[in-house]
Amino acid sequence: MKLRLTSLLAPVSLLLAASLLIGQEATGPGGEKSVKPGINERFLDPELKVDDWLKRFEVESRETFFERHKVVESCGIKKGMAIADIGAGTGLYTRLFAKETGPDGWVYAVDISAPFLKHIVARAQQEGQENISAILSPENVTPLPANSLDMAFICDTYHHFEYPKGTMDSLLRALKKGGALVVIDFERIEGKTRKWTMGHVRAGKEVFRKEIEDAGLTFVEEVKLEGLKENYFLRFRKE
């Protein structure tokens, strides 16, 4: 089978240790400071219980699960595309993308959590999806080959980027010319957004959009989906 966890168990342990060290130092490439230290601590736990997160992520009450098919349709995926699901979590969108790209396409499930990635690999093997690679990533960059992606997808994960500049610089390199970036994240509006989100998400849509544009991507549009009330959907392109 083509399916693989990059790398397997022993290398994964080494990469996880490296990402923990990066988090402790709270610096990224070029001395970039963490914008929200500790936000990913739970996901760096090697004993993370995936079943607990399945109950939170893959439930009808979660907008991005309920609207998953409309989200995928709005991404404009074509057969044979190479896609990176950044912060893949339990692999919901990884699996959906793998179906859409077909056997000639490829999906990279990228996450900082080894338990999540092992779950994605096991689920893909169970369902016979052979066009998936699981990549354990450090917190400050995405280790993807240059000019390898037709699309990068970041769903409810951008606000978890401790080092947004380093992460976005690496994604820009990984995207092909004309490649797309889709970002779905939580609205953060004073007086409207619920208290938990205000405390958890460090900034609103305008700030995140500017950070992404400053990284060198061009804003294309905001896609409006009826079922997304607490989330927004932004599309960018690499010129």
Residue 31: its pLDDT value, please? Answer: 81
Residue 4: its pLDDT value, please? Answer: 46
Return the residue matching tokens 């619920």: 194
Residue 204: its pLDDT value, please? Answer: 95
Q: Which residues of the chain have pLDDT under 50?
A: 1-27
For 181-203, write each residue's pLDDT tens digit: 999 999 999 989 999 999 999 99
Expressed in angstroms, the distance from the first to the final Cα of the chain is 35
Which domains does the chain show, CATH number per domain?
4-237 (3.40.50.150)
Residue 30: its pLDDT value, please? Answer: 65
C-alpha distances (whole Å) from 45 to each of 17, 24, 38, 41, 213 are 11, 14, 12, 7, 32
